[in-house]
Amino acid sequence: MAFANNGYNVLALDTDSVPNLALSLGVPREHAERIIPLSKNEELAEERTGARPGEGWGVLFSLTPRVDDLADKYGIKILDNLKLVVVGSIDASKEGCMCPAIALARAFLLHVMVRKNDVVIVDSEAGAEVFGRGLAEKFEFNLTVAEPTVKSLAIASKLIRMAEELGVSKNILVINKVRDHLRALQLSAKVFQNNVPLTHLIRWDENIVKADEEGMGLNTLPRNSPAKEDIFHLMSKLISFSRRP
Task: Give the domain extent around 151.
Answer: 139-245
Give me the numbers of helices (H) and strands (E) for the chain, helices first please. Answer: 10, 7
**Each residue's pLDDT tens digit, 140-187:** 899 999 999 999 999 999 999 988 888 888 999 999 999 999 999 999
Q: Same domain for 117 and 2?
A: yes
Single-letter amino acid code for the residue at 242: S
Q: Same domain for 158 and 237?
A: yes
Task: Encode burial over 180-215: b for 16+ CB neighbours within 10 A, e otherwise.
Answer: eeeebbebbeebbeeeebeebbbbebebbeebeeee
Q: Same domain for 180 and 223?
A: yes
**Each residue's pLDDT tens digit, 19-36:** 889 999 999 989 998 998
Q: Same domain for 41 and 73?
A: yes
Q: Same domain for 98 and 209?
A: no
- Per-residue confidence band for 61, with pLDDT thresholds at 50, 70 and 90: low
Boundary residue ending a domain (108, 123, 138) = 138
- How many domains are contained in the chain? 2
Q: Same domain for 39 and 160?
A: no
Question: Beta strand 198-203 with 141-146: parallel, antiparallel or unpaired?
Answer: unpaired
Helix (H) or strand (E) holding 133: none
The pTM (predicted TM-score) of the whole model is 0.82
Q: What CA–CA distance (Å, rounded) separates 104 from 39?
A: 7
For residue 214, what is the domain's CATH number? 3.40.50.300
